[in-house]
């Protein structure tokens, strides 16, 4: 892969391409699918949207924290974290090139079976107007918002207490960890899929488990614990 971005993120993407076999071998199925989801998110943003590019790049860094400390890609992660300057716009093109190299056919969202996008859309959801009414105005960006080609914007209902009320605070916290604003499908899949760490489906455990256990499970995913 010939990277066009010359900053820390461009070099990180180049290393992923150069050591792609070692990256794949070091990550389990869920971790690798998360990496592909984060790369896809970077590939989809507008190159001139500096904030979106920065958040997507940090998402890739978080997905790679599961790599062993002696992995050849690992040293590049600190450079991405410590740099003050925004990532160069060229990294979006690099991500598109890398996605074509790693996954010509997009796999399912992390930890989910084929067809899960349809299952997610079949789950109870609020319309845009309903969600905004529950929030007392515009919904916060951390809420999962899905584009349904048939029904418009959908906000999965589990994010809100049953009946009435604003979103669960723990949902906002977990969604922030999962970068739901740039990867809503991956975040929704995490909430609606079985989780071995928690012993159940996270969405079904809202209000039944301490909030910190849900936060801890999401942290374990993004940090590779």
CA-to-CA distance for 39 and 37, rounded, in angstroms? 5
Among residues 182, 201, 205, the alpha carbon closest in space to that of 193 is found at 201
The dihedrals phi and psi of 159, each to the nearest 5 degrees, come to -70, -10
pTM above 0.75, yes or no: no
Among residues 154, 156, 164, the alpha carbon closest in space to that of 134 is found at 164
pLDDT in tens, the chain (225 residues): 554 556 888 888 999 999 989 999 998 887 888 888 888 888 878 888 887 788 788 888 888 888 888 999 988 887 776 655 667 888 888 888 888 888 654 444 443 334 446 677 788 899 989 999 999 888 888 899 887 766 678 899 999 998 888 999 999 999 988 888 877 887 888 898 887 788 888 999 998 899 999 999 888 776 654
Give the start-end residues of each E strand in 103-143: 125-127
Tokens of 150: 């048939």
Among residues 91, 110, 107, the alpha carbon closest in space to that of 16 is found at 91
Given a contact cutoff of 8 angstroms between Cβ atoms, the answer to whether 88 and 10 are in contact is yes
CA-to-CA distance for 222 and 177, rounded, in angstroms? 7
Among residues 224, 193, 186, the alpha carbon closest in space to that of 28 is found at 224
């Amino acid at each position: 892969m010939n990277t066009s971005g010359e900053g820390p993120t461009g070099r990180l993407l180049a290393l992923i391409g150069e050591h792609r076999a070692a990256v794949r071998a070091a990550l389990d199925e869920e971790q690798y699918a998360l990496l592909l989801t984060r790369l896809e998110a970077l590939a989809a943003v507008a190159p001139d949207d500096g904030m979106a590019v920065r958040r997507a790049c940090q998402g890739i860094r978080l997905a790679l924290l599961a790599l062993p400390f002696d992995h050849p890609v690992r040293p590049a992660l600190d450079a991405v974290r410590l740099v003050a300057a925004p990532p160069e716009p060229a990294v979006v093109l690099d991500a598109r090139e890398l996605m074509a190299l790693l996954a010509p056919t997009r796999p399912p969202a992390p930890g989910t079976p084929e067809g899960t996008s349809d299952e997610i859309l079949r789950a109870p959801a609020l319309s845009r107007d309903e969600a905004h009414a529950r929030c007392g105005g515009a919904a916060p960006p951390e809420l999962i918002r899905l584009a349904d080609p048939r029904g418009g914007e959908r906000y999965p209902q589990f994010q809100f207490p049953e009946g009435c009320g604003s979103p669960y605070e723990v949902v906002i916290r977990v969604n922030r960890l999962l970068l739901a604003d740039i990867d809503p499908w991956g975040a929704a899949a995490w909430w609606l899929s079985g989780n071995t760490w928690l012993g159940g489906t996270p969405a079904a455990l809202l209000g039944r488990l301490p909030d910190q256990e849900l936060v801890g499970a999401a942290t374990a995913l993004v940090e590779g614990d």
